[in-house]
Amino acid sequence: MAYKITDKCIGCGACAAQCPVSCIADKGGRYEIDENTCIGCGGCSNVCPVGAPEEN
């Protein structure tokens, strides 16, 4: 199941740096997941300091 990044995102970039399929992009201060590429590994959720990524 793909993840999505909620409004809690503070734009730190930690998730994008570790995503194994590089599907998280900087959208000007906050980040977005390409849900068609995300493999649902949960890595972004594990590294996020504010719990912004959630299962879609």
Binding site residues, ligand SF4, CB under 6 A: 3, 5, 9-15, 19-21, 23-24, 31, 33, 38-44, 47-48, 50, 52-53
Backbone angles phi, psi at 47, to 5 degrees: -95, -15
Q: How far is the CB of 33 from ligand SF4 (least distance, A)?
A: 4
Give the H or E element holding residue 55.
strand 53-55
Q: How far is the CB of 51 from ligand SF4 (least distance, A)?
A: 8
Task: Using CA atoms of 17, 35, 25, 48 in order, give the dihedral in degrees to the nearest 10.
Answer: -50
Q: How far is the CB of 7 from ligand SF4 (least distance, A)?
A: 10
